[in-house]
Amino acid sequence: MALTLTPHADGRVRQNAAMGITRLAWLVTVLVALLTALLLLLSGYTGYAGLGVAVAISAAINLL
């Protein structure tokens, strides 16, 4: 994993590990599943909203 240098407001510079493309893809998957669950819940589809939350939790396991 590559390291990047990030300047702070106080003038110090620190090293940050770059986020991998697979981690970013799983994060986007979790966010889309949660958004879908929210929209389904607002539409009154509680069972499908619960399924969307379950998918989001399942995808979030890959972020650990």
- Which tens digits make up the pLDDT trace of 11-63? 777 776 777 899 999 999 999 999 999 999 999 999 999 999 999 999 999 99
- Tell me which residue range forms the domain holding 26: 19-63
Distance CA 29, CA 22 (A): 11
Max Cα distance, the chain (Å): 51
The torsion defined by the Cα of 10, 12, 18 and 24, in degrees rounded to 10, comes to -10
- Residue 49 located in a structural domain: yes
pLDDT at 64 over 60: yes
On whether the CB atoms of residues 53 and 36 are closer than 8 A, the answer is: no
pLDDT at 4 over 60: yes
pLDDT at 3 over 90: no
More confidently predicted of 8 and 37: 37
- Residue 28 located in a structural domain: yes
- Residue 33 located in a structural domain: yes
11: left (phi over 0), alpha (psi -120 to 50) or beta: left
Number of domains present in the structure of the chain: 1
pLDDT at 5 over 70: no
Letter for the amino acid at 17? Answer: A
